[in-house]
Amino acid sequence: MTLDRFYPIFDSAAWLERLVPLGIKLVQLRIKDTPAPALRRDIRQAKAICAKHDCTLVINDHWRIALDEGCDFIHLGQEDLDSADLTAIRNAGARLGISTHDKAELTRALDLRPDYIALGPIYPTILKQMKWHAQGLDRLRDWRERVGQTPLVAIGGMSVDRAAGAFDAGADCVAAVTDITLNPSPEDRITAWLGATR
């Protein structure tokens, strides 16, 4: 499977409505701490937006609602793997991406034969508190050798300026969050990202 090289992550369908039409072809909806009815509405809306713009939608964590709504790509963190019904996800024909941070997690992920593996944080990130320090490009190169043909996503502290280094280190795809959402002009930042990754 080939992933688009640019993989923004947003926490609401409103962000997708605003930015996907600019040319995004792969996007993740990552919503935390939201009641199920509102979550379902956002997933439904995101699915419609992505269908209209030929963009692949990945749903973070909420695999049951995602499958209920006909979504076909799920992303799970390591803690999510503990409770997710991976058989149900596979039986639904959904693709699967998995977060990794250390070698034990990578081994666990590879055993599940995911459609991509994410490594992070590559650089320091302000998005969330993590027990892992910045992994760096050397770790990304190591992961490239370990994952074989599995697509590799670099995430954490990524910016337009850092994208080339991640690609040179073996990433197939670069994910970004706050570099876009905290930018004074998210639209201009998307344009810059598309220019750097296409």
Per residue in 53-66, pLDDT (tens digit) is 999 999 999 999 99
Contact 65, 39 (CB under 8 A): yes
Mean pLDDT of the chain: 95
Residue 47, domain member (yes or no) = yes
Give the CATH number, domain containing residue 52.
3.20.20.70
Would 78 be classed as within a structural domain? Answer: yes
pTM above 0.85, yes or no: yes
CA distances from 196 to 6, 133, 153, 166 (A): 9, 26, 16, 12
- 45 within some domain: yes
159 within a domain of the structure (yes/no)? yes
Counting Cα atoms < 13 Å in the Cβ hemisphere of 116 gives: 24
Q: Is residue 1 part of a domain?
A: no
CA distance 43 to 65: 8
Confidence of residue 128 (pLDDT cuts 50, 70, 90): low
Number of domains in the chain: 1
Would you mind telling me the total number of residues written for the chain in this entry? 198
175 within domain boundaries: yes
In a domain, 161, yes or no: yes
Backbone torsions φ then ψ of 96, nearest 5 degrees:
-140, 130
Distance, CA of 197 to CA of 164 (rounded, Å): 8
**Strand, coil or helix: what is 191?**
helix
> Is the CB of residue 116 less than 8 Å from the CB of residue 106?
no
CA distance 7 to 14: 17
* pLDDT of amino acid 183: 97
Please give the residue range of the domain that contains residue 134.
6-197
Q: pLDDT tens digits, residue range 99-123?
A: 999 999 999 999 999 999 999 999 9
Domain assignment present for residue 99? The answer is yes
Q: What would the pLDDT profile of 14-33 be if each residue is shown by its tens digit?
A: 999 999 999 999 999 999 99
Whole-number Å distance between alpha carbons of 63 and 65: 6
